[in-house]
Structure 1
Amino acid sequence: MAEETIEVRHLTEKDYKDLKESMVSAYADMQGSYWREGTIQRLIDLFPEGQIAVTVNGKVVGCALAIIVDYEKFGDDHTYEQITGYYTFNTHNPKGDTLYGIEVFVNPDYRGKRLARRLYDARKALCENLNLEGIVAGGRIPNYEKYADKMSPREYIEKVHDKEIYDPTLTFQFSNDFIVKKVLRNYLPNDAASKGFATLLQWFNIYYEKDRDTIRYNKSTVRIGLVQWQMRTYSGMAGLLQQVEFFVDAVSDYEADFVVFPEFFNAPLMLEFNQLDPAAAIRGLAKYTEQLREEFSRFAVSYNVNIITGSMPIVIDEQLYNISYLCRRDGTWDHYTKIHPTPSEVYSWGMKGGSDIRVFDTDCGKIGIQVCYDVEFPELSRLQAQQGMQILFVPFLTDTQNGYNRVRFCAQARAIENECYVAIAGCVGNLPRVNNMDLQYAQSAVLTPSDFAFPVTGIKADATPNTEMIVVADVDLVLLKELHAFGSVQTLKDMRHDLYEVKLKK
């Protein structure tokens, strides 16, 4: 038996004879329904890359035809004639935002070879390459005539979706990640099998970028630098800043997009206030916070890197908080206040928790910040994930391996639950002459979701435990989009919103 050769390519005017034969066979239940040669030629002239053929041994046995439209001009209530300009295709707009599928068929003599899937894959690739928002099409429901006297079109669609009923067109559309936006009436009035009804189908291009700016571009691969900071005594603020700048400089030399410092990395400056009780000493340290924020902002601009400043104490309206800053490389800055102070922070220092749970826009996507203990509360990360968080940064400070493991294991769980990257950075070493800061244990790391596209361990990179060093790792944001849409499991998409929810109270 001779081997078959299958090819997916652009349709040409020379293919019309095979095309007509296959279409007549495909639409045997709609006699006389085939595309005229002049119509096919017009489509090829208007939008050649949108007309796709599949061949078996050189014979065209199926095709996918499409135009580009400015979808807002039509909306969800339209007919096939309206969307095609009554078959003139004057609705085609090369500057539109949506690929509109006007035809897909495969000769029934060649079914069972997954040819339609190849056509759909080619159409999706075209949509991605043209940076269009997605694909929209009106779909037949040819088996509906068997159920029309028993159920409405909507009920029929639900049962097809739940695999209680098989429909040769709609079942295939569902398997190709299309959703049904609505039911269209009189979309194809001559389609007796579908009783004149059609489904308005949509496929979303997860790679779509609304504004492709060649100057302030949206990066796919983001480079993260973690500072595993050694606690040591310094000659005042000048000595501390010298070490901070050293690490910022070192990480920026690797062209990193972010550098992350640990929680309370500036604790050595508290030695100056060691004669005071712990609550007064931490408030003494807070006097340096504004100056440190200003210096970090200056470093972010001069070294062209976004900085997560670790965390520092701050006094606001006579209340003590633990604050982290995002200093962007464009000179702007923002802040996150630790939501959950640990019991020891409350007992020893009288620290209060913040109340603002949000994500931050950067030139490398949407990020979240949590400080140490916060990552042990899964609700925070879920709320940030609902706001589009792609990378979660967690500065931490832990004194024992038990405390570190709580942070590490919870951070890894957050990466899996929320389909995001989590970067944790901590302090190492000892400060024997500073109250409440005697010991530190850390192994900084960049953690990932758990699926085929990511490391099998869920660890992109990690540091040597208890050693001063930097960790530099690249993370791919496109992999997150693919995980959300096509992952082996999809924890965000599969949440039972009908059963439970996580929401802010204020």
Structure 2
Amino acid sequence: MSGFRIACAQYPIEPMASLDAWQEKIGRWVGEAVQGGAALLVFPEYGSMEIAASAPATMGDLHASLRTVMDAGEAMDAHHAALAATHQVHILGASRPVALDDGRIVNRARLFAPNGRSGYQDKIVMTRFEREQWGISGGDHLRVFHTALGVIGVSICYDVEFPLIARAQAEAGARLILTPSCTDSMQGYWRVRIGAQARALENQIHVAQAPTVGMAPWSPAVDENYGLAALYGPPVLNTPDDGVLSLGEEGASGWTYGAVDCAKVDQWREAGAVRPFAHWPEQYLGAPPSLPAVEVIDLA
């Protein structure tokens, strides 16, 4: 499919008293995006942490809140999978902490296809809070997802600030990169946004950002949340002068919709006033560094 409608969540962190309450909220959000014509729904980084409020005795403890969310993880995945199948849409669920067999905890975002298949991307580069206070480890693999909508990559929040991650995904075929984010200041939001727009510029692709928003003083993990959902492209040819294809409203919550047309990527790269995707190797004066290996996951 060349063109489709994407919905990026500007998602409010709210105390979910139970798994049932969280399921009702997510079902309502998905239903609204489907009514809005979206074929791909993008939830934010760590949006899953609101389920920690279902254990009020421990929700104020940073590491205990992690355990609560990890314990609910399989049920959360099953709910996303069922909604994707019921509504025949693709859903990037909010990233969540996942415990690995070797004892490490990673920050994982899973993409659910309407045919029942799913695949995940772990965040690669940890922020200071994740590595110094929370004990979250970086992932050790990079993937792109072959879907009925096209090839999609996921660069979680801080990851999109590092050029070679998105570059490897773009060279592996990604025409769209999803950037779920969670930032506790407007400076943090702008760091991610600037990274997302830079990745759209240099790879001449679409980049979609979906942030958490709102205050959650009960949570030591996601207590302050700032950001605007958006879809970006390179400022070339038929895109807006600033490359912003759609943008949410500051201080609001809800879906921000945009039109993704993967066929435009080839136009941008071939007919644009500049060709940064093609000219990328020239910056290395003939000795380009190796890019991370990328695994292609078939969800089509």
Structure-1-length-normalised TM-score:
0.55
Match of 1:322 in 2: 107
In the other structure, the counterpart of 1:494 is: 279
Distance 1:488 1:387, change over 3 A: same
1:285 corresponds in structure 2 to: 69
Could you say which residue in structure 2 is the equivalent of 1:443? 228
Contact 2:185 2:224 in 1 (8 A): yes
Instruction: Name the larger-Rg structure.
Output: 1
One-letter code aligned to 2:224 = L
Q: Is the 8 A contact 1:308 1:325 kept in 2?
A: yes
What letter corresponds to residue 117 of structure 2 in structure 1?
T
1:416 maps to which residue?
201
- 2:17 maps to 235
Q: Match for 2:159 among 374, 379, 399?
A: 374
Read off the aligned partner of 2:143 and give its amino acid letter.
R
Amino acid at match of 2:287: L
Alignment of 1:259-408 (within 5 A): 259-271=41-53, 272=55, 274=58, 277-317=61-101, 318-408=103-193
Work out whether residues 206 and 233 of structure 2, in 8 Å CA contact, stay in contact via their aligned partners in 1: yes
**Equivalents in 1 of 2:2, 2:164: separation in Å?**
27
CA contact under 8 A between 2:60 and 2:218: conserved in structure 1?
Answer: no
Distance 1:370 1:289 in 2: 20
Q: Which runs of 5+ in 1 are unaligned?
A: 1-218
User: Any idea what the Cα deviations from partners look like across 1:391-417, whole Å, max 9, x if unmatched?
Assistant: 000100011101100000110000001
Structure having greater relative contact order (Cα 8 Å, sep ≥ 6): 2
Q: What are the equivalent positions in structure 2 for 1:89-100 lying under 5 Å apart?
A: none
Query: Counterparts in 2 of 1:98-137, with a 5 A limit?
Result: none
| CA distance in 2 between partners of 1:393 and 1:276 (Å) | 30
Shift, 1:473, TM fit:
1.1
Structure 1 residue 331 displacement after superposition: 1.0
| Count of residues in Structure 1 that have an aligned counterpart in Structure 2 | 288
1:250-272 Cα distance to aligned partner (Å, 9 max, x none): 11122311000011112122232
Quote the Cα distance in structure 2 between the aligned partners of 1:260 and 1:276: 27
Deviation at 1:369, TM superposition (A): 0.5
Cα drift, residue 277 of structure 1: 4.1
Aligned partner of 1:253 in structure 2 is 35
SS of residue in 2 equivalent to 1:358: strand
For 1:486, the aligned partner's letter is A
Shift of 1:488: 1.2
* Structure 2 residue aligned with 1:225: 7
Please tell me whether the aligned partners of residues 41 and 92 of structure 2 are also in contact (alpha carbons under 8 angstroms). yes
Instruction: Tell me what 1:197 maps to.
Output: none
Is residue 431–residue 439 contact of structure 1 (8 Å, CA) maintained in 2? Answer: yes
Structure 1 residues 245-254 or 387-396, which shifts more? Answer: 245-254
- Shift of residue 367, structure 1, vs aligned partner: 0.4
Kindly provide the CA deviation profile for residues 192-251 of structure 1, in whole angstroms up to 9, marking residues without a partner as x. Answer: xxxxxxxxxxxxxxxxxxxxxxxxxxx221210111111111221111111111111111
Alpha-carbon distance in structure 1 between the residues aligned to 2:237 and 2:168: 26
Gaps of 5+ in 2: 295-300
Aligned 8 A contact 2:60 2:220 in 1? no
Cα distance in 2 for residues equivalent to 1:418 and 1:262: 23
User: TM (normalized to structure 2)?
Assistant: 0.92
Supply the AA of the counterpart residue of 2:176: I
2:76 alignment partner, SS class = helix
Task: Tell me how far 1:505 sits from its aligned partner.
Answer: 6.8
**Contact 2:237–2:268 (Cα < 8 Å) also in 1:** no
Aligned pair partner of 1:458 in 230, 240, 243: 243
Q: Distance in 2 between matches of 1:396 and 1:321?
A: 15
Deviations 1:439-498 (A, max 9, x none): 111111000111022111200101001211111111222211112222211112113272
CA RMSD of aligned residues (A): 1.6
Q: Secondary structure of the equivalent of 1:433? A: coil
Contact 2:11 2:254 in 1 (8 A): yes
Counterpart amino acid of 2:18? Answer: G
1:114-165 deviations in Å (ceiling 9; x for gaps): xxxxxxxxxxxxxxxxxxxxxxxxxxxxxxxxxxxxxxxxxxxxxxxxxxxx
Distance 1:468 1:505, change over 3 A: closer
Whole-angstrom distance in 2 between the partners of 1:442 and 1:504: 29
Secondary structure, aligned partner of 1:414:
helix
Structure 1, 266-275 or 228-237: larger mean CA deviation: 266-275
**Structure 1 residue 276: Cα displacement:** 6.9
Deviation, 1:426, is 0.6
**1:131 maps to what in 2?**
none
